[in-house]
Amino acid sequence: MANYYVEFDSNPQALFQDLRTQILACADWARLTSDAILASTSAPAAAAATTLTFTSGTPAAAGLVVGMVISIDDGTLREYRTITAVAATTVTVAALSYAHASGTPVRAGNELYRATTTRGAQMVIDLNDAHLAVTGPALQCALYRSHDGTTGVGKIQRYLYWRSGAGAATQPLHVTLSLGKEHFFLSIEGPRPNETGAVANIGSLRNYIFMCDIVPYDAGDAVPVVFAGGSSGNSATSALVSFDHVGHVSRTLDGVASWASAKLLSLDFPHGGLADTVSAQRNRQIDTKFILAPYVVFQDDSGMRGRLSSFFFAGFNQSDQYDAPPPPSGSKVTYGGESYKLLPVNRGDGTRIAWNQFGSVSNGSATTFMKSAVVAVPCP
């Protein structure tokens, strides 16, 4: 068991393959999606076509059904689509981005991965719950309480936005991935200033999705669970009304229901509404150590369940009251024999706020779009 951490550049066309390569570099995670070819097309499909053609009876025999995400992959160009209709010789999808020759393989298009924590809870994520449009600005992901590779139990959706509007297949994406036996963290930032596709030369959104083992505070809490975070709204803008501050615990205290709503609390100056973001001195003079704070899980129906095992609050990278220095973002710290990197996990694009369960800041303007909670994320 070892934590895996990587930062790399990608683009929407290559993102899923790049993520697959990096996720499977961690021995604690496995891909559940089969790479078997379900069917091959029997006629060419032009760019912008909305149907794929097969020999008679093939779609039904191959298990191609409405709502299924498929990968259309000729070895050079891969794209993903959701099936909206099935006939004897055709399936209907949204307009294709590329032309594909006859004989192009069609595979299952979801990107399903699983790990099991030391306490016995499953972390399961489908990175492609809905097809990623080539010019799309986001991932629609699905999280499951458990999954056997065929059937999932307890599904919720999460959205990871890196741009507030459509881009292009080759727009640069800047990816941070951290995972291990107890956690999964994926952050994607869209084109940066002076890169093709940046929003008004300010840059793009940076957001995240994550799962993490919960260390229980009460000995009677014997149900192994994980906390799931990320945007639950199909929008590039965070707000209290979109409940982006609310996360979920994979099982209730009695072990019956899936994904009970919960919130993360940590050591911070109490404030409400649009109050100032206030920083504090986190470097102890007595021993020069940098102080991290635990993220404590408060389930809405059961109260405090425990703390996140693998993430810690390190303050804010910008403050309205500069009575203390900001955290040294990008640096590494050691706690309990483990290494962590201090990351500002959110970034706005000048017009849209970007924050989730790790912390919120009033970054709703072009002058405050860089404000973010800083989180200690596991790294080697």
Q: What is the pLDDT of residues 191-209, one digit of tens each?
A: 999 898 888 778 899 999 9
CA distances from 333 to 172, 210, 359 (A): 29, 20, 20
Residue 111 CA to residue 235 CA, distance in Å, equals 22
Model confidence at 183, pLDDT cuts 50, 70, 90, reads very high
273: pLDDT strictly greater than 70: no
The tokens of 297 are what?
């899980």
State both tokens at 348: 């706005």
Find the mean pLDDT for residues 262-274. Answer: 83
CB 331 within 8 A of CB 339: no
- Interatomic CA distance for residues 79 and 90, integer angstroms: 17
Distance in angstroms (rounded) separating the CA atoms of residues 7 and 185: 12
> What letter would DSSP give residue 12?
T
Q: For residues 357 and 246, give the distance between their C-alpha atoms in angstroms, rounded to a whole number.
A: 6
Tell me whether residue 233 is exposed, middle or buried, using C-beta atoms within 10 angstroms of its C-beta: 0 to 12, 13 to 18, 19 or more: middle
pLDDT band for 167, please (50, 70, 90 cuts).
Answer: confident
Q: How far is the C-alpha of 105 from the C-alpha of 295, rounded, in Å? A: 45
What is the Cα–Cα distance from 185 to 198, expressed in whole angstroms? 24
- Model's pTM, two decimal places? 0.93
User: Residues 216-260: pLDDT tens digits?
Assistant: 999 999 999 999 999 988 877 777 667 888 999 999 999 999 999
Q: What is the number of other CB atoms lying within 10 angstroms of the CB of residue 1? A: 9
3-state secondary structure of 321: strand
HSE of 207 in the Cβ direction (CA atoms, 13 Å)?
A: 33
Say yes or no to pLDDT of 88 above 90.
yes
CA-angle at 269, arms to 263 and 274, nearest 5°: 80
| 373 touches 344 (CB < 8 A) | yes
Distances (CA, A) of 113 to 141, 219, 336, 375: 11, 30, 28, 24
pLDDT for 364: 55
Residue at 326: amino acid letter: P
How many CB atoms are closer than 10 A to CB 304?
15
pLDDT in tens, 133-143: 766 789 999 99
- Is the pLDDT reported for residue 159 higher than 60? yes
Pick the more confident residue, 214 or 134: 214
